[in-house]
Structure 1
Amino acid sequence: MSLALNPLFLPPALGAFVFDPALVPEERRPFVPRYGDPGWSVLALTQNPSATDDIIYWRWFPEVFREPFRFASWTLINYPLPDEDVARHGAAMRSKLSAGRILKTVNQWSQFAQWLHERGITRLSHVAAEDLADFALQLDKKRGLARNTAVGYLVGLSRLHYYGRHLPQADRLVEPPWVSEGMDDYLPAATPGGENITEPISPVVMGPLLVWALRFVEEYADDILTAYEEHRRLVAAADALDVPLTPGCGDGLVSFLEQLEAEGRPVPVTSWNPNKPLAAAGIFLAATTGTPPKKVHSTMRRPRWKAYTRDHHGPCLLEAPVTAKLGGEPWHEPFEFYSITTLVKHLVTACFIVLGYLTGMRTGEVLGLENGCCPDLAGDEEAAKRHLIYGRVFKVARDENGNHDSAGIVREAPWVAVPQVVTTVRVLERLGSDGLLFAAEAHDPRLPERRSGRSLAIATMSNRIESFIEWVNTHAESRGRQAEAIPADPHGRVGTGRFRRTLAWHIARRPGGLVALAVQYGHMRTLISQGYGSRSRGGIHDLLDFETARNVAEHLSEVHEAIQDGEGISGPAARRLIHSAAQEHHRFGGIIASVRQARSLLADPTLNVFENKEAFLFCNYDRAKALCHPGRGGKNEAPSLDRCKANCANIARTDTHARKLREAADSLNRQATSGLVPAPLADRLRERAQNLAELADQHDNDRVMPGTGAEL
């Protein structure tokens, strides 16, 4: 989106477009701002469907800097940087910026302008290199910004300097010192960033959240969609009746009301809350009785029907049946005309939760999915289970010049879809949007002219997740199922960006029983690995590596500390476990802070140690010795912890495991002697308890103590 160079260095006319509307997709041309507008929308600069309508406001800038930075921003939008400027910069730089980065850069310029104004500097040409160094210093010392954020500020100021050659002399910024000296001396210390510092959703939250989302998708969807179809039919019928009134057009409504009055039945109203004024259900009554909506409203204002409605009113019940069950009872009361749209919102939210959690996609990638993205496959039954999802990626999309491609690019390796994801896609397709699965026009009909071609916004979906959780908890309480409520997450709102990290966390750790579909995680690791196998390792694999390595490092660090405190180790792999714990402590100290460290740990076969809490053991994984993989000559990179064998040479146990074995054995014996279980089950419980106690005794007999030379 480049305009011809302005040789006179003069700003455009106030009424001129900021950039050429002809270069913008037609549905976004109304968003192209004029140069003199108090705010510039950047929505027309991007084709990402989940992009928000962000606006650059000139009130952000002190008045003395407002026009210079307006012109600089116009230049930023329209002119790519020359290759020599891009090449000489110390940090990664693009010749043109994405819409989001333009907004962020101008916002950072506004904060720089405020800082200059506070120091009494009123022109960019008056700024000295020392001033820029001071500004960089205060980003760390006073504002405490992370290194990556501070880099953005410095790169933005470098870009402002480069564009100075197109600006009037008074508005040109001196070359920042970091351009020639490098950025390191002007930045805070490096810290881990990106998705690796995003807190995963707590298992006690993710478990019930996913259970309820899957209930909506797999069990309740048919009921909701059937009721919603009836709702849409009634709305369409009422719209068709919005015609000029004719004599007798209200007779059907009067007959309907007289029948209600004769039988003492309630009049359908939009709200029967005693704290709100009553209002007859105009659309519902119009469609039901074939009466124009205008006539419905005038009829319901008559004293007779107004008084009857006041004393006899109730909900507008749809005829759609409630077929799904919850605990043997209908999961919901009969559907109501004015509340079914709320259930549809919750259904769409449940679909997002399932897709966001069980695919590994980023939020924007989920919201960018289109109808037909998951085609049915022909072939045998096994092949049909291996559905693929074709969609676009946006974060790493680049055009031929290496600049960000806001439209995204079709992902070369499609995502692999487990059956629950396929069901979710089919539900969204049934909702009737022709384009995007999460089309704003279909799922958020406010201001449709501003939502054409766009998906639901990320912030909107984040708010809907919170509303979904609130609805679930209210519903669970009303059904006496408080144990199934979704608790608050200790790290705050669930949001939309934490599902991807949480998936990696659970695949790497698989806390059995706490999260629905835990048994699927091993399969999902295999499927995801196959989907990424022929590509460079990146994306979700980075998160999988990171979480797996963190898990290993934490466990080995705990083992090392336990050994130092005098705990013993038993099992065929006892010496290997002691050695691994010492090696990990020496190299990593129990802390993995980057993907590079994660890969380094996982590349060391002596550190491939995984705890199986269900079997009370550590697996010191050696593929050649593993009994969980019968074909041990294959390419299995991780153990199948759900198939641990008691005689495997990779097993090691700690005193802590032995203590937990005895606690589990005592618990089983108490159940067996309680008199509350049938005799055959009690016998099996006692047999299981005896086996666990024998494993604990075996540990006590075979344990290796620190200082015996076993760690060598």
Structure 2
Amino acid sequence: MSLAPNTFLRPPAADAYVFDRSLAVESRGDFVPRYGDAWWSLLALTRNPSAVDDVIRWRWFPEVFREPFRFASWTLINYPLPDADVARHGAAMRSRLSVGRILKTVNQWSLFAQWLHQRGVRQLSYVSAEDLADFALHLNKVRGLARNTAVSHLVGLSRLHYYGQVYPLSADRLIEPPWVAEGMDDYLPAASPMGENATEPIGPATMGPLLVWALRFVEEYADDILNAYEEHRRLVAVADDLKGPLKPGAGERLVAYLEQLEAEGKPVPVTTWNASKPRAAAGVFLAGKTGTPVHKIYSVMRQPRWRDYTARHHGPCLLDTPVTAKLGGEPWHEPFEFYTVTTLLKHLVTACFVVLGYLTGMRTGEILGLERGCCPDVQRAQEEPQRHLIYARQFKVARDEDGNHDSAGVVREAPWVAVPQVVRAVRVLERLGGHGLLFAAELHDPRTPERRSGRSLAWSTMSNRIESFIEWVNTHSQGRGRQAEAIPRDPHGRVGTGRFRRTLAWHIARRPGGLVALAVQYGHMRTLISEGYAARSRGGIHDLLDFETARNVAEQLSEVHEAIQNGEAVSGPAARRLIDAAAQEHSRFGGIIASVRQARTLLADPTLHVFENKETFLFCNYDRAKALCHPGRGGKNEAPSLDRCKANCANIARTDEHARQLKKAADSLGQQAASGLVPEPLADRMQERAQALAQLAHQHELDCVMTGTGPSCEP
């Protein structure tokens, strides 16, 4: 539907639907709000399974502005902007907005309406260009919004002006904002690094143990939890089937069960989750165990004989499922309890999310939108390695044929390459049953099922569950005397759901050739890590990897430049190249990479391709023609393979700090070799290694080059 020129739109009746019910997602037609409702839910308009059920609440708006903005919001939902307005210069606009953007725009309008009300403005037509300029200043100086957020607010007001041109009442029309004609730069805060790159990576001290425990759940504990949950489901199903009128002798099986417990001196299962009634009858559990209707169980348990016995002999509702997995040689968990096994299941689902989030690089929406069958088994020859692909939908950049947002998402052109741990997580989620989404809300969070049909767990729900998982792990570790395996608090706050992608890029860029958090090998630097991760670079994580690599290089070179200025020395065949690179980087970037564009600029300069290998105490000043880590040096390798460093490579340079680290490592190995605590063959190898490291440190002192003003390079 297009806005007809010279035709005024009029508000609908209060009982009219806000939008055509035929446009609603299947099964959500009843959720379409009425125009006069106190709040509007737009859930029926989106096909994104992880979309939040946010609502527009009209109490956000001062009463004098409530109806004008209700009408403006109705227009925003139902009518696209004319092409002439979309094509105007300034910030890019789309004719139609996604549901999430509609909600955000109306929220921004409410902020503007409240600001106008505080200034004593009572009609949109009274707003002047000076008022709009003052509001832009308010966003910057008072609200302190970042540049991109401020842009969103100003674009929203531009859209409000464009729609106002077709309103019948002039009082509801907003004048053309000054930034439409003049451009936005003068009305915005200074540019700053924004977007995904502003997200802090999860600290290694937190990410390591978190991934350890997530993989334990997925690879070791999953079978126990799923088997226990299956028993739980079976007992619940039996109890549900018993609902209805009581039959003669309905309580006989329960009485026989209680008499057997009494004869053997065993405890009566009771609920333990209700603190106010710690010995309440375990109705559903006993119903499933004995085939007795729940309401009959309560009447039998109120009899004096069983009430008195239960008061003296009561215990948890233990399931029959055995605990088979081990932790430190002991069962990882006490016998499973009926009323707590669902909590363990939530933690298992959370662990699957952590594994998927960290070991793939998917965005949160892509993970929550995964469907059953997304990772099919592949046919292969026996000698070929097993390789799995994950076919996911992406939502952030999904567009329809008109260039507007497609809430259903689109299947990625390049599927994700899945490591075995990820495949295992997918298989665990598929075992939980259901259909459609792996993280289906009706399966994993069955509250209000009518509003959750076809939806996945919400981002906020998963974020809260990650915090609960960490809390459970720390309590479990404390109770098992394994405090060293607890998950420390991250210095930047909650782990959340969106930080795994950034953390993966951080580890790839800063842990080349090493192990990522749990000995999961990722490979080499940048996007040429492996064929699998190279495929990933085609789908959106390439910029993050470049950013992290460039930031790492800039920080290291700036530190080298500062050390050289303080009198530190450099040695090795590439010493002069390292000194020049450090000076050049410091002059151009100052050790700070604030945008993807800067990252690409740095990485495009081959003289700045300097990577530190902390395992061998050196800098690699990478020159492909001289590199010994690549047998085919004429190929397309754009980064070193730091796990294959050769001592005689012409790209090597060492600093005084590396020399100090060499000496420290040599001393440590020498002390271990002489301690008498290691076998003699191992002690001999450790001693040889210590001597080799000490020789490298001595060679640095003999060959070092200085350009600063500090002490000389003498032994």
**How much does 1:6 deviate?**
12
Q: Can you list the C-alpha shifts for 1:288-340, whole angstroms capped at 9, x where unaligned?
A: 11111221121112121111111111111111111111111111111111111
Alignment check: 8 A CA contact 1:39 1:57 kept: yes
Aligned residue in 1 for 2:444: 443
Aligned residue in 2 for 1:119: 119
Note the aligned Cα RMSD (angstroms). Answer: 2.1
Aligned residue in 2 for 1:161: 161
Aligned residue in 2 for 1:596: 597
Aligned residue in 1 for 2:39: 39
How far, CA to CA, are the matches of 1:634 and 1:164 in structure 2?
60
Identity of aligned residues (%): 80
Q: Are residues 1:10 and 2:44 paired?
A: no
Aligned positions of 1:308-327 closer than 5 A: 308-327=309-328
Tell me which amino acid in the other structure corresponds to 1:556.
Answer: L
Aligned residue in 1 for 2:470: 469
Tell me which amino acid in the other structure corresponds to 1:351.
Answer: C
Tell me which amino acid in the other structure corresponds to 2:698.
Answer: D
**How much does 1:583 deviate?**
1.2
Q: Can you list the C-alpha shifts for 1:125-179, whole angstroms capped at 9, x where unaligned?
A: 1111111111111111222111101101110000000001222211000111111
1:276 and 1:653, CA in 2 relative to 1: closer, same or farther beyond 3 A? farther
* SS of alignment partner, residue 522 of structure 2: helix
How far, CA to CA, are the matches of 1:282 and 1:93 in structure 2?
58
Aligned residue in 1 for 2:670: 669
* SS of alignment partner, residue 521 of structure 2: helix
**How much does 1:597 deviate?**
0.6
Tell me which amino acid in the other structure corresponds to 1:601.
Answer: L
Aligned residue in 1 for 2:278: 277
How far, CA to CA, are the matches of 1:572 and 1:635 in structure 2?
23
**How much does 1:515 deviate?**
4.4
Aligned residue in 2 for 1:80: 80
**How much does 1:30 deviate?**
2.3
Single out whichever of 482-491 and 264-273 deviates more from structure 2. 264-273
Alignment check: 8 A CA contact 1:208 1:515 kept: no
Q: Can you list the C-alpha shifts for 1:379-415, whole angstroms capped at 9, x where unaligned?
A: 1256552211001000000011111111101111111
Aligned residue in 1 for 2:302: 301
Single out whichever of 688-697 and 627-636 deviates more from structure 2. 627-636
Q: Can you list the C-alpha shifts for 1:450-473, whole angstroms capped at 9, x where unaligned?
A: 100000000000000000000000
How far, CA to CA, are the matches of 1:682 and 1:532 in structure 2?
39
Aligned residue in 2 for 1:196: 197
Alignment check: 8 A CA contact 1:393 1:408 kept: yes
Tell me which amino acid in the other structure corresponds to 2:638.
Answer: E
How far, CA to CA, are the matches of 2:401 and 2:132 in structure 1?
34
How far, CA to CA, are the matches of 1:96 and 1:202 in structure 2?
40
Tell me which amino acid in the other structure corresponds to 1:661.
Answer: L
* SS of alignment partner, residue 630 of structure 1: coil
Aligned residue in 2 for 1:546: 547
Alignment check: 8 A CA contact 2:204 2:517 kept: no
Q: Can you list the C-alpha shifts for 1:67-88, whole angstroms capped at 9, x where unaligned?
A: 0100010001001000110101
How far, CA to CA, are the matches of 1:514 and 1:26 in structure 2?
46
* SS of alignment partner, residue 174 of structure 2: coil
Tell me which amino acid in the other structure corresponds to 1:496.
Answer: T
1:374 and 1:384, CA in 2 relative to 1: closer, same or farther beyond 3 A? farther
Tell me which amino acid in the other structure corresponds to 2:54.
Answer: D
Alignment check: 8 A CA contact 1:671 1:682 kept: yes
Tell me which amino acid in the other structure corresponds to 2:126.
Answer: H
Aligned residue in 2 for 1:287: 288
**How much does 1:16 deviate?**
0.7
Alignment check: 8 A CA contact 1:204 1:514 kept: no
* SS of alignment partner, residue 447 of structure 2: coil
**How much does 1:63 deviate?**
0.4
How far, CA to CA, are the matches of 2:446 and 2:336 in structure 1?
21
* SS of alignment partner, residue 28 of structure 2: helix
Alignment check: 8 A CA contact 1:227 1:335 kept: yes
How far, CA to CA, are the matches of 2:77 and 2:300 in structure 1?
58
**How much does 1:511 deviate?**
7.5
Tell me which amino acid in the other structure corresponds to 1:702.
Answer: D
Alignment check: 8 A CA contact 1:49 1:454 kept: yes
How far, CA to CA, are the matches of 1:443 and 1:525 in structure 2?
37
Aligned residue in 1 for 2:91: 91
How far, CA to CA, are the matches of 1:273 and 1:448 in structure 2?
25
* SS of alignment partner, residue 349 of structure 2: helix
1:89 and 1:272, CA in 2 relative to 1: closer, same or farther beyond 3 A? closer
1:94 and 1:273, CA in 2 relative to 1: closer, same or farther beyond 3 A? closer
Q: Are residues 1:245 and 2:246 paired?
A: yes
Aligned residue in 1 for 2:329: 328
Single out whichever of 275-284 and 438-447 deviates more from structure 2. 275-284
1:574 and 1:514, CA in 2 relative to 1: closer, same or farther beyond 3 A? same
Aligned residue in 1 for 2:572: 571
Unaligned runs of 5+ in 1: none
Aligned residue in 1 for 2:227: 226
Aligned residues: 709
Single out whichever of 506-515 and 331-340 deviates more from structure 2. 506-515
How far, CA to CA, are the matches of 1:389 and 1:598 in structure 2?
29
How far, CA to CA, are the matches of 1:5 and 1:441 in structure 2?
46
Tell me which amino acid in the other structure corresponds to 1:698.
Answer: Q
Q: Are residues 1:69 and 2:69 paired?
A: yes
How far, CA to CA, are the matches of 1:388 and 1:345 in structure 2?
26
Moved over 3 A (4+): 1-9, 272-277, 381-384, 511-515, 523-538
Alignment check: 8 A CA contact 1:204 1:515 kept: no
Aligned residue in 2 for 1:146: 146
Aligned residue in 2 for 1:52: 52
How far, CA to CA, are the matches of 1:324 and 1:473 in structure 2?
19
1:707 and 1:285, CA in 2 relative to 1: closer, same or farther beyond 3 A? closer
1:48 and 1:528, CA in 2 relative to 1: closer, same or farther beyond 3 A? farther
Tell me which amino acid in the other structure corresponds to 2:364.
Answer: T
* SS of alignment partner, residue 522 of structure 1: coil
Q: Are residues 1:557 and 2:558 paired?
A: yes
Single out whichever of 532-541 and 408-417 deviates more from structure 2. 532-541
How far, CA to CA, are the matches of 2:530 and 2:685 in structure 1?
39
Alignment check: 8 A CA contact 1:28 1:44 kept: yes
Q: Can you list the C-alpha shifts for 1:462-503, whole angstroms capped at 9, x where unaligned?
A: 000000000000111111111110000000000001000000
Alignment check: 8 A CA contact 1:413 1:531 kept: no
How far, CA to CA, are the matches of 1:328 and 1:301 in structure 2?
43
Aligned residue in 2 for 1:410: 411
Q: Can you list the C-alpha shifts for 1:346-392, whole angstroms capped at 9, x where unaligned?
A: 00000000001111110000000000000111112565522110010
How far, CA to CA, are the matches of 2:623 and 2:613 in structure 1?
15
How far, CA to CA, are the matches of 1:5 and 1:36 in structure 2?
27
Unaligned runs of 5+ in 2: none
* SS of alignment partner, residue 653 of structure 2: strand
**How much does 1:644 deviate?**
1.5
Tell me which amino acid in the other structure corresponds to 1:508.
Answer: A
Q: Can you list the C-alpha shifts for 1:34-84, whole angstroms capped at 9, x where unaligned?
A: 101100012122111001110100000000000010001000100100011
1:372 and 1:523, CA in 2 relative to 1: closer, same or farther beyond 3 A? farther
Alignment check: 8 A CA contact 1:12 1:35 kept: yes
* SS of alignment partner, residue 201 of structure 1: coil
Q: Can you list the C-alpha shifts for 1:225-279, whole angstroms capped at 9, x where unaligned?
A: 1111111111111111223111111100000001111111001111178764321
Alignment check: 8 A CA contact 1:376 1:384 kept: no
* SS of alignment partner, residue 26 of structure 1: coil
Aligned residue in 1 for 2:102: 102
Q: Can you list the C-alpha shifts for 1:198-245, whole angstroms capped at 9, x where unaligned?
A: 000000000000000000001111111111111111111111122311
How far, CA to CA, are the matches of 2:269 and 2:13 in structure 1?
58
How far, CA to CA, are the matches of 1:270 and 1:516 in structure 2?
40
* SS of alignment partner, residue 523 of structure 2: helix
* SS of alignment partner, residue 110 of structure 2: helix
Alignment check: 8 A CA contact 1:272 1:315 kept: no
Q: Are residues 1:361 and 2:396 paired?
A: no
Aligned positions of 1:616-635 closer than 5 A: 616-635=617-636
1:688 and 1:229, CA in 2 relative to 1: closer, same or farther beyond 3 A? same
Aligned residue in 2 for 1:457: 458
Aligned positions of 1:392-411 closer than 5 A: 392-411=393-412
How far, CA to CA, are the matches of 2:196 and 2:706 in structure 1?
40
Aligned residue in 2 for 1:427: 428
1:170 and 1:224, CA in 2 relative to 1: closer, same or farther beyond 3 A? same
How far, CA to CA, are the matches of 2:501 and 2:218 in structure 1?
20
**How much does 1:514 deviate?**
7.8
Alignment check: 8 A CA contact 1:378 1:384 kept: no
